[in-house]
Structure 1
Amino acid sequence: MQLTPLIAVHMTAAIAAVLLGPVALWARRGHAARQARSQRPRLHRAIGYAWVTLMLVTAISAIFIRDFKLPNIAGYTPVHLLVPIVFGSLFLAFRALLRGNVNTHRRVMVWLYVSACLVAGAFTLLPSRYLGGLVWHQWLGLA
């Protein structure tokens, strides 16, 4: 596999999502006693919408990236299971908001960040994967 424009778009959106996610989560954190002062709803909403957009770009672009070397079905590997998970989680998170259930929204978004950004990102950096090979072999000269 080589760095194509599609993979570059996917990788850029994924890296940006990994970086923006904690900002969106932090901006809405607050302690019960001083919640109004410590929350930053405008920042949370702006960064949150940017993060959701990045996650959608990442998931949609992943549909078109296929790998026939790893265990796959028609080029789709187990990591492609994250595509419907992203769509479903975003649907659940926004439905919870529309229903006024902020706690469910928060739980779903934190879970989505951890699973789709951190866990998937860790698997992406395995030496046998394209980006992992770049990082470990070419850039760092290891293994």
Structure 2
Amino acid sequence: MEHWNWLIATHAIAAGYVIVLGPANIFRRKKDRAHRMIGYSWVGAMYYVCISSFWIRGDGGFTWLHGLSAFTLLTVTLGLVSAIRRRIQSHRGNMIGSYIGTVIAFAFATLAPGRRIPQLLSEEPATLAFAAALVLASSAALFLTARSLARKAPDPIPARVP
């Protein structure tokens, strides 16, 4: 099995970021400037997670997770285009679907024996705890900063009622 390297570590950190910030944006009541700021960073992290996954392969080569990455690239892009075109229902469906797919992939990567995350948990639990704390702290900082900035400046794009 390939040992940890920068690609795998940054992939895992970005995936953790996606997992943490997804619900923060999905369940927010206001879909304002803060929603867009968090959303653009979430989309960037999703693209990184999906694209970097193609260079992370086990002994068997590509798996169904790589197919999920390709599909997620499509759904995130469709969700982004839908938001830009103000097709909110389509945007919501694509983004929530992308998030659910990421949670499924994360569960598989976390629970399946022989994967890197369970291996790291058994061999270096402090490293995994530090990385998780880093993801949570940076996600909270982004969320609070975006919310604070959104309060200070007027929203240039008024919310449209569906």
TM-score scaled to structure 1, two decimals? 0.78
Instruction: Please identify, of 98-107 and 11-20, the stretch whose mean Cα deviation from structure 2 is larger.
Output: 98-107
Is residue 98 of structure 2 the alignment partner of residue 112 of structure 1? Answer: yes
Tell me, in whole angstroms, the C-alpha distance in 2 between the residues paired with 1:40 and 1:106.
Answer: 11
Tell me, in whole angstroms, the C-alpha distance in 2 between the residues paired with 1:49 and 1:98.
Answer: 11
Cα 1:22–1:91 shift into 2, 3 Å:
same
* Structure 1: gaps of 5 or more residues: 30-38
Tell me, in whole angstroms, the C-alpha distance in 1 between the residues paired with 2:70 and 2:42.
Answer: 17
Q: RCO higher in 1 or 2 (8 Å CA, sep ≥ 6)? A: 2
Runs of 4+ in 1 over 3 A off after TM superposition: none
Aligned residue for 2:109?
Answer: 124
Q: Shift of the alpha carbon at 1:40? A: 4.5
Cα 1:40–1:97 shift into 2, 3 Å:
closer
Aligned residue for 2:52?
Answer: 61
Aligned residue for 2:8?
Answer: 7
Q: Which amino acid aligns with 2:113?
A: P
* Structure 2: gaps of 5 or more residues: 127-162
Question: Counterpart of 2:27 in 1: which secondary structure?
Answer: helix
Question: Counterpart of 1:67 in 2: which secondary structure?
Answer: coil
Q: Shift of the alpha carbon at 1:87? A: 1.2
CA offsets per residue over residues 10-47 of structure 1, 9 Å max, x none?
Answer: 111111111111111123x3xxxxxxxxx151111011
Tell me, in whole angstroms, the C-alpha distance in 2 between the residues paired with 1:53 and 1:94.
Answer: 11
Aligned residue for 2:41?
Answer: 50
Aligned residue for 1:23?
Answer: 24
Over the matched positions of the two proteins, sequence identity in percent amounts to: 32
Question: Counterpart of 2:48 in 1: which secondary structure?
Answer: helix
Q: Which amino acid aligns with 1:45?
A: R
Q: Shift of the alpha carbon at 1:98? A: 3.6
Q: How many residues align?
A: 123
Is residue 69 of structure 2 the alignment partner of residue 83 of structure 1? Answer: yes
TM-score scaled to structure 2, two decimals? 0.70
Tell me, in whole angstroms, the C-alpha distance in 1 between the residues paired with 2:81 and 2:46.
Answer: 17
Question: Counterpart of 1:66 in 2: which secondary structure?
Answer: coil
Tell me, in whole angstroms, the C-alpha distance in 2 between the residues paired with 1:99 and 1:42.
Answer: 16
Q: Which amino acid aligns with 2:115?
A: R
